[in-house]
């Protein structure tokens, strides 16, 4: 391991270390070049070049016949992968995420890497994956998040288990979106979040006279994004796919998804069509970010966790009545409800409910049917007027209701035998600032 020693320069004689199995150069920022002699490291199994200043990979890298792991994340000087990469036949993991100047086409020779299991090209500017990617018979994980130049995908390997693709992170919260990338590679921040935050601030100052704790804004230079308008229908043929993360800006149609899915994350999907997830019987985690959705059949999926942020949820002439009988976790933040009533009566196995910054939400119904509920949090919902009787929630241990100014009472609050902690303040007449308390028995 030779990390954190920026003055170090590699001598040509490094190739004499023929028994070396692991070579870690990560964060050696002054190393700008690998000598050709690196190809003589015949025993090398793992090479880590992450966050160095290497400008290119030498062709001699193709001589590393035992190499299984190549990490080169966050290298700003890399502009292309050499065709010699296809000669590293035992390579199992190639991590090039954050190589923000990696542009153009990935060489066709990558299709020779029959043992490759993980390929991460996230936060690069590649414009094309070769058709030979379909030859990667052992590829399980393909990450292409924040690839703004990548317009379409070729036919994918049949045994893929994890796929993420889009011009932005498929799911982000606060600073998470930019955690792994250099500053000059930041993509344009989601405009919907900023507009929504401004509306919340305006209402908060008007109704409460306070500044609310909003998600952190992260400035980023604006860059032109490639518009992805269609998703490959071949996604539906990936019978081993377990995790799928897609950024769907300007996508009007979501193809049939494989029934093997266990986790699905969608970002920026705006559609007036009904989404049919009824075949996703194995789905455990469902996440939406910045989506505008109809609620006719979307919740046929038997998922256990549902998370939504910055979403508009539409269903005309009826309350939003969720059908997810296996659901244990429900989180909604910065969401608009049309109409303004959320009915949870059919979600009898809920353990945790968290609703925050939902400006138009007026009423929550059906909580009395959630006998397994352990944690309930409703924060900064200024239109909230009514909530179900809580007296039947015998397992409720944590209760948080804050800054719901129109909410005048909480029925059944004195009958919560299992309650250990409550925070109730900033609401209507019953929720003064002094009602925050710990209910743990002495």
pLDDT in tens, 14-55: 999 999 999 999 999 989 999 999 999 999 999 999 999 999
Looking at the DSSP bridge assignments, the partners of residue 216 are: none
Q: Poorest-confidence range of 68-72, 159-163, 224-228, 298-302? A: 224-228
Distances (CA, A) of 247 to 7, 108, 288: 41, 26, 10
What's the fold here for domain 1-139? 3.80.10
Per-residue pLDDT, 206: 55
Residue 245 to residue 227: CA distance in whole angstroms: 17
* Residue that wins the pLDDT comparison between 201 and 104: 104
* pLDDT tens figures, 217-268: 333 333 444 556 677 778 889 999 999 999 888 787 788 899 999 999 999 9
Give the strand pairing for 118-120 and 93-95: parallel
* Residue that wins the pLDDT comparison between 173 and 280: 280
Write down the domain spans for the chain. Answer: 1-139
Per-residue pLDDT, 189: 37
Q: Up-side HSE of residue 395: CA atoms within 13 Å toward CB? A: 14
CB atoms within 10 A of CB 121: 24
CA angle 360, 269, 126 (to 5 degrees): 140
Give the residue among 294, 338, 292, 346 at the shortest CA–CA distance from 318.
338
Per-residue pLDDT, 184: 40
The DSSP-derived string for 387-428 is E---TT-TT--EEEEES-TT----TTGGG-TT--EEEEESSS
Element (H, E) at 207: helix 191-207
Per-residue pLDDT, 364: 94
Residue 377 to residue 400: CA distance in whole angstroms: 5
Predicted confidence band of residue 317 (pLDDT cuts 50, 70, 90): low
Per-residue pLDDT, 187: 38
Residue 189 to residue 220: CA distance in whole angstroms: 7
Q: Assess contact for 149 and 165: CB atoms under 8 A.
A: no
In the predicted model, what is the mean pLDDT of residues 347-369?
A: 93
Give the residue among 128, 166, 119, 172 at the shortest CA–CA distance from 147.
166
**Sheet with strand 336-338: strands edge to edge:** 292-294, 312-314, 336-338
Q: Which residues touch 441 (CB under 8 Å, ≥6 apart)?
A: none
The token duo for 71 is 């990490």
Per-residue pLDDT, 180: 43
Residue that the structure tokens 């490094």 belong to: 14
Element (H, E) at 203: helix 191-207
In the predicted model, what is the mean pLDDT of residues 407-411?
A: 90
Per-residue pLDDT, 331: 95
The pTM score is 0.82
Q: Is the pLDDT of residue 289 over 90?
A: yes
Q: What's the gap between Cα 366 and its chain centre?
A: 30
Per-residue pLDDT, 438: 45
* pLDDT tens figures, 81-104: 999 999 999 999 999 999 999 999
Q: Assess contact for 225 and 167: CB atoms under 8 A.
A: yes
Q: Poorest-confidence range of 76-90, 140-154, 167-181? A: 167-181
Predicted confidence band of residue 341 (pLDDT cuts 50, 70, 90): confident
* Residue that wins the pLDDT comparison between 339 and 66: 66
Q: Poorest-confidence range of 114-118, 149-153, 187-191? A: 187-191
Give the residue among 119, 123, 105, 116 at the shortest CA–CA distance from 247.
123
Predicted confidence band of residue 436 (pLDDT cuts 50, 70, 90): very low
Residue 346 to residue 321: CA distance in whole angstroms: 7
Q: What's the gap between Cα 68 and its chain centre?
A: 27
Q: Which long-range contacts (CB under 8 A, 24 or more apart) does 138-141 make?
A: 138/92, 138/114, 141/117
Q: Is the pLDDT of residue 315 over 90?
A: no
* Arithmetic mean of pLDDT over the chain: 82
In the predicted model, what is the mean pLDDT of residues 394-414?
A: 93
* Residue that wins the pLDDT comparison between 125 and 222: 125
């Amino acid at each position: 391991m030779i990390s954190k020693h920026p003055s170090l320069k590699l001598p040509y004689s490094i190739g004499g270390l023929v028994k070396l199995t692991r070579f870690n150069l990560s964060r050696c920022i002054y190393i700008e070049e690998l000598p050709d002699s690196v190809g003589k490291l015949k025993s090398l199994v793992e090479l880590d070049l992450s966050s160095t200043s290497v400008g290119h990979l030498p062709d001699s890298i193709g001589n590393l016949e035992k190499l299984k792991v190549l990490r080169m994340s966050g290298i700003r000087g890399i502009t292309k992968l050499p065709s010699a990469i296809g000669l590293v036949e035992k390579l199992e993991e190639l991590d090039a995420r954050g190589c923000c100047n990696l542009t153009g086409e990935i060489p066709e020779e990558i299709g020779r890497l029959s043992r490759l299991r993980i390929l991460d090209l996230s936060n690069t500017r590649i414009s094309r994956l070769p058709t030979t990617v379909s030859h990667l018979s052992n590829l399980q994980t393909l990450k292409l998040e924040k690839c703004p130049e990548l317009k379409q995908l070729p036919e994918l390997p049949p045994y893929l288990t994890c796929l993420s693709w889009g011009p932005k992170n498929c799911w982000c919260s606060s600073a998470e979106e930019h955690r792994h990338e250099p500053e000059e590679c930041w993509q344009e921040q989601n405009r919907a979040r900023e507009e929504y935050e401004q509306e919340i601030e305006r209402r908060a100052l008007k109704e409460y006279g306070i500044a609310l704790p909003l998600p952190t804004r992260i400035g980023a230079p604006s860059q032109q994004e490639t518009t992805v308008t269609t998703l490959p229908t071949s996604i539906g043929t990936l019978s081993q796919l377990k995790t799928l993360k897609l950024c769907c800006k300007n996508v009007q149609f979501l193809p049939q998804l494989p029934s093997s899915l266990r986790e699905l994350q969608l970002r920026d999907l705006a559609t007036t069509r009904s989404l049919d997830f009824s075949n996703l019987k194995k789905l455990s985690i469902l996440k939406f970010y910045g989506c505008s959705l109809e609620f006719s059949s979307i919740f046929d999926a038997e998922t256990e966790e549902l998370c939504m942020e910055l979403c508009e949820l539409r269903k005309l002439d009826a309350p939003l009545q969720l059908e997810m009988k296996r659901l244990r976790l429900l989180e909604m933040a910065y969401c608009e409800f049309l109409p303004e009533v959320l009915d949870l009566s059919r979600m009898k196995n809920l353990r945790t409910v968290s609703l925050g910054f939902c400006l138009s939400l007026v009423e929550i119904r059906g909580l009395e049917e959630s006998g397994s509920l352990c944690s309930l949090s409703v924060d900064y919902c200024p239109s909230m007027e009514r909530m179900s009787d809580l007296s039947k929630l015998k397992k409720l241990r944590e209760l948080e209701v804050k800054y719901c100014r129109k909410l005048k009472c909480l029925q059944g609050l004195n009958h919560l035998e299992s309650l250990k902690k409550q925070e109730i303040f900033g609401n209507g007449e019953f929720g003064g600032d002094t009602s925050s308390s710990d209910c743990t028995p002495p």
